Chain A
Amino acid sequence: MSETTSVTNRIPGSRRYWYVGLGALMITWPIIFGNFWARIGVGALMWIGLAQSWNMIGGYAGYLDFGHGAYFGIGAFAAGIAMVQFGYPFVVGFALAIVVSIAISYLVAVPTLRLTGAYFAIATWAFAEAVKQAALITGITGGTFGLSLPRSPDTFIGVALPFQIGETFFYYAMLMLCMATMSLTYYLFERHEFGYRVKALRDDQDAAESLGIDTTRVKRQVYVLSCVVAAVFGSVHAWYIVYIHPNDVLATIITDRMVIMALLGGLGTLTGPVVGGLLVFLLQRLSSVFLGSTTFYLPLIGILIMITVLFAPSGIIGILRGEIDRNDVRQNVKDLGEKFNLL
């Protein structure tokens, strides 16, 4: 393919209008629909970004990181500690979240990525739980009291800004971050040579190694990248919800949600986490609005994970793209039925 082929050439004419319309809708969203829907938008964009960050290591590289939520919390607490304990503006906290998450994820990556499969999953899971326990007992994180972040107009860059830092501000902040994450994923994993290296090591590590790919290096790069993205969202989230507590921002359910969003949408695809993220986030929101229960989405998420893995392992994207049709699902059901032949 020639270098001059631009993105617009690859999008068919009729679809181009859809993309333009979608872009316009996303930009004008908080203006048209107001604060309530802006709030929904902030959450949806954040979870799409987080699901994509998990998809980098879990989907593209095939390393199931069951402790990814730790970096969300680390980012949140980096911003929180910078703002509350040291009185810096948010931008410093944001930069600190990036630096700290790079440092920690690299130190974790070096030993942990030597493990594979289930051992990697258990080790990362143990790491995340240890981080949470540590955050609960140390003083700088506020321990069991948590931290309350300031949000006056001068807490962004240190000088007073002429606008309020409210829902609209955070909507555009999240939109930018989410778009940046999507573009980065598209460029690195779908277009750049890097993506082919990552997929090669996922499919067969020894074969990739024999082709001259430095798999250790590539794995570390993917892991650090995905962790930094999670931490960046964590730091903005901390400032957005103002109050952070280890039991909230370091909860196991954060990792659970990232996993199910990426899995339900389709692992190792660009659009999978978008579809899965939107669906799971709206499901959670709707269940709390209409059923009045804040925990009911947990069993729903659990059932969704199980059904997806059982019958449609390539996710919703696999169904939409036609990789899985009704016959495949039927065959899956039949195979499963045969395994119940216990006597």
Chain B
Amino acid sequence: MVNIGLFTQIVINGLLLGGIYVTIGVGFSLAFGVLEVVDFAVGEYVMIGAFTGALLTPLLGAEGVFVIPIVLISFFALGALIQPMIHHVTTGDRPHPLLMGLVFTFGLATLLRGSVLSIFGPNNRDVPSSLLTGGVEISGVGTFPVVRTVTAVFGVSALVVFMYYLYRTTGGMAIRAIAEDRTNARLMGININRYQSIAYGAYAALTGSAGVFIGMTFTANPGMGLQYTAFAFFMVVLAGMGYLPGVIVAGIVLGLTQSFTAVYISGNLVLLVLFAIIYVVLLISPAGILGRGEWAT
């Protein structure tokens, strides 16, 4: 007999988690579309986002929410400055440029994880927040924890703003044009350096601020990045590389999978189940379960 109350509570938790994963997945998918590189550093942006939250919160009146604007701006700048390097290693006269891009982000991930581990040690840190505590109970449905709800609302609204920029403004059109065909976009007079930097910066900002919220929901830990890299891969593999609407579905599937596996099977098995799904989907349908993604080479 399935406990209905528990069941709906798991669905609520899963959907709320999915909201923030979608933010990570959309940025990641866009970075792939624009730079044609699979970014192994995605989880590390989440991790340093959470750590920035943990370190700056005591300076800002113990309120994690106030860190968000700082993280958005600083991570945008960070991403905008990292992008030219990725662009450099994936173009120009060198053997296997795309593989070099992969190796570069692999190095970047090691650098970020290693620096945080060396400087701050391996311990967990909390991102405290006094505003986002408790939960709102709706009788007959379940409890909505405030942290997770605000997190999901942030995720969805960031997504809406981002999508608006991407599909309704000239700059967004330029970014989509680059994702479509970099050379032709350049021939049309688009400053590809600039728009690639905007796209990668936006991705870093989204991912970093998602990290602050994840730190508030769970905790901040130098080793947490790996898990979110896995989550990001899971979403784009499920959705198909570079296919944004699919990522939204995949993020919600991920949130639900995580909360159901944790409750009904075992928390230890969450990653194993996800990796198994990634592997199988890659082999059966490399363009995603919806079949709309790009083939990467």
Contact = CB atoms under 8 A, between A and B. Distances in A.
A74 to B, nearest CB: 16
Contacts of B6: none
Nearest to A267: B95
State the main secondary structure of chain A at its contact with B: helix
B88 interface: yes
A295 interface: yes
Interface string B96-121: 10111011101111111111011000
A313 B194 contact: no
A64 B102 contact: yes
A129 B276 CA distance: 10
Contacts of A117: 98-99, 102, 296-297
Nearest to B227: A129
Given A122-B38, A298-B113, A256 B283 contact: no
Contacts, number: 157
Contacts of B113: 298, 302
Interface stretch (B131-139, B156-164, B168-176, B265-273): B265-273
B104 A306 contact: yes
B110 A256 contact: yes
Interface string B79-103: 0110011011100101110111011
Nearest to A203: B95
Contact of A133 (B85, B268, B296): B268
A136 B269 CA distance: 10
A109 B130 CA distance: 52
B150 interface: no
A302 B118 contact: no
Contacts of A263: 103
Contacts of B278: 122-123, 126
B230 A133 contact: no
A323 B94 CA distance: 12
B282 A62 contact: no
Contact of A122 (B109, B114, B282): B282
Interface in B222-277: 226, 230, 233, 237, 268-269, 271-272, 275-276
B184 interface: no
Contacts of A242: none
A118 interface: yes
A295 B197 CA distance: 31
B114 A342 contact: no
B231 to A, nearest CB: 12
| 4 cross-chain pairs, A with B, having the tightest CB-CB distances, nearest first | A298-B114, A302-B111, A305-B107, A302-B110
Interface of A: 62, 64, 66, 111-112, 114-119, 121-123, 125-127, 129-130, 133-134, 136-137, 252, 256, 259-260, 263, 267, 293, 295-306, 309-310, 313-314, 332, 335-336, 339-343
Given A62-B99, A263-B103, 15 more contacts: A64-B103, A116-B297, A117-B98, A119-B296, A126-B278, A133-B272, A137-B268, A256-B106, A298-B114, A301-B107, A302-B111, A302-B113, A313-B95, A335-B92, A342-B193
